A = this chain, B = another copy of it.
């Protein structure tokens, strides 16, 4: 009534309203992560979320079409954090040492380490989201962090000193990415501390490096 659809007459009002809306959305998502962490997926119901967020169920449905959308948003958010972290680390290292100073193995180690440490804190929530997105449609999206390196390799960007450029096929890239993801997934399930052990990191780096080595263009 005060707002028949399409008649947003006062533009000025909009901005703060939108700001508030964005904040509400953020609060809901934050509460969602907390709830997931504390109570697990089974207890993650819209009603409980509403209570945890301090809003009413209705409000939640004002910001999200349905429950799944919330989970998706959460997963996307986590993925972005991981992605940002990986690229940040990768580039910062590059800048410090100069692009050429970073060996292939070093790069691999950086990506792997970032991936392995991605689940510090809120482990439970992250595991759940990881699973969920693995299962769901957005699988592809969730892998992006690991894909960063694979993509670089696939595009032949990485030249490793005197040895030839590395070039991965789409299949190779997929295999590599999913292998790492699978390892992380399993470790998360079996024993989270495992992820932080140096010999674990070594093994993963070795796995990746071994594969890349095998794929190197034979000169």
Counted per complex, copies of this chain come to 4
Quote the shortest CB–CB distance from A55 to chain B (angstroms): 5
> Among A76-84, A154-162, A169-177, which stretch is in contact with chain B?
A169-177
Interface string of A128-152 (1 = CB under 8 A from B): 0001001100011000000000000
Quote the shortest CB–CB distance from A219 to chain B (angstroms): 18
Set of chain B residues within 8 Å of A139, measured between Cβ atoms: 186, 189-190
Quote the shortest CB–CB distance from A109 to chain B (angstroms): 14
Set of chain B residues within 8 Å of A59, measured between Cβ atoms: 5
Chain B residue nearest in CB terms to A59: B5
Does A197 interact with chain B (Cβ within 8 Å)? yes
Does A66 interact with chain B (Cβ within 8 Å)? no
A contact face: mostly helix, strand, loop, or mixed = helix
Interface string of A31-70 (1 = CB under 8 A from B): 0000000000000000000000111100100000000000
Set of chain B residues within 8 Å of A102, measured between Cβ atoms: none
Interface string of A182-202 (1 = CB under 8 A from B): 110111011000100101100
Q: Which A residues are within 8 Å of any B CB, using their own CB?
A: 4-6, 24, 27, 53-56, 59, 131, 134-135, 139-140, 169, 171-172, 174-183, 185-187, 189-190, 194, 197, 199-200, 203-204, 206-207, 209-211, 213-215
Set of chain B residues within 8 Å of A199, measured between Cβ atoms: 169, 171
Set of chain B residues within 8 Å of A27, measured between Cβ atoms: 5
